[in-house]
Amino acid sequence: VVKTVYMEVDVDPSQQVEEAEYVIALCQRDDNPMEAAVISGRPASEAFGPYVRRFRDSPYIKGVRQVLHGAGTPAKYCLQPEFVRGIQLLGELNLSFDLCVRPDELADAAALIDRCPDTRFILDHCGNERPERSDHSAWQKAIADVAKRKNVVCKVSGIVDKASQDWDAEELAPVVLHTQEVFGPERVMFGGDWPVCTLGGSLSSWVTALKTIVANQPAAQQRRLFAENAISLYGLSK
């Protein structure tokens, strides 16, 4: 049976509780593969504490995410004192935070992680690097610095929608392989990023490309990437 983790979809804050409760109900159904969720949240909000505490004992809620790479989010937003306090609270509640930032703000991500040493972080989408770029050096250095922090793992996801129109596995490989190199085999995990991935290709084409990229890696390492690390890091059943 394939187990899945629901990832928040950037709903309006007024709908966050409704979204979370809807997803919990899906997780409780025997005919749904969804086992757990990373729900939406606004850590800088005064309402964040009461909001997130209501789910602290739910076995289905594993963490929180706020998309930070949108055009309306200013640079260094994640370093505001109110935001940092919200992320520190997640650590106290044993909940993780999915970091979804622009590639030129990975230094801000590293600074946030340093200020929240007791919180588990998941860096989404390989730091949102664009595979079609000819020069990955700035991203390579920045994501390697993030990877030095041991309380962060990286989700290998969300890159086909940023690739060229005619992308192939060879174009994606430098981003995937560098991410694996700096985080190591125990701190990377596959993410489908469906339906956003369909902006660049089908989910099956993304999975096939990733399998091609890692085909020569040990089978145990591939199992970690595609399943075992997520099971462990999000606390899922096997």
Tokens for 210, please give them: 């990733």
Given this model, what pLDDT does residue 2 score?
62
Other Cβ atoms less than 10 A from the Cβ of 53: the count is 12
Structure tokens at 101: 């930032």
Task: Specify the pLDDT at position 11.
Answer: 85
Residue 16 has pLDDT above 90, yes or no: yes
Computed over its alpha carbons, how large is the radius of gyration of the chain? 17
pLDDT score at 195: 83
> pTM of this prediction?
0.93
- CB half-sphere exposure, 131, CA atoms < 13 A: 27
* Region 12-23 average pLDDT: 93
Q: Are 65 and 98 in contact (CB under 8 A)?
A: yes
Query: Is residue 127 over pLDDT 70?
Result: yes
pLDDT in tens, 165-219: 999 999 999 999 999 999 999 999 999 988 888 889 899 999 999 999 999 999 9
How many Å apart are CA 155 and CA 175, to the nearest integer? 12
| Integer Cα distance of 142 and 126 in angstroms | 11
d(CA 186, CA 204): 24
Are 119 and 87 a contacting pair, CB within 8 Å? yes
Q: Specify the pLDDT at position 236.
A: 85
Quick one: pLDDT at residue 1? 52
E-state strands within 41-168: 61-67, 96-100, 121-123, 152-156
Distances (CA, A) of 29 to 19, 33, 71, 98, 152: 16, 8, 37, 25, 31
Nearest Cα to 16, choosing from 39, 38, 36? 39
Q: Are strands 121-123 and 152-156 parallel, antiparallel or unpaired?
A: parallel
Other Cβ atoms closer than 10 A to 57: 8
Reported confidence tier of residue 23, pLDDT bands at 50, 70, 90: very high
Residues 204-210: contacts with CB within 8 Å, 24+ apart?
A: 205/160, 206/160, 208/169, 209/160, 209/167, 209/168, 209/169, 209/172, 210/156, 210/169, 210/172, 210/176
Residues 6+ apart with CB under 8 A from 136: 129, 174, 175, 178
Residue 238: the pLDDT is 62
What integer pLDDT is reported at residue 235 of this predicted model? Answer: 83
Residues 63-81 have pLDDT tens digits of 999 999 887 889 899 999 9
Banded model confidence at residue 8, pLDDT cuts 50, 70, 90:
confident
Q: Quote the pLDDT of residue 160.
A: 92
Whole-number average pLDDT of the chain: 93
pLDDT in tens, 135-156: 999 999 999 999 999 999 999 9
Residue 100, pLDDT above cutoff 90: yes
Q: How does strand 4-7 pair with strand 61-67?
A: unpaired
Those residues with Cβ within 8 angstroms of residue 111's Cβ, 6 or more apart along the chain or in another chain: 79
**pLDDT given for residue 112 in this prediction:** 98
Q: Give the mean model confidence (pLDDT) for residues 108-120.
A: 98
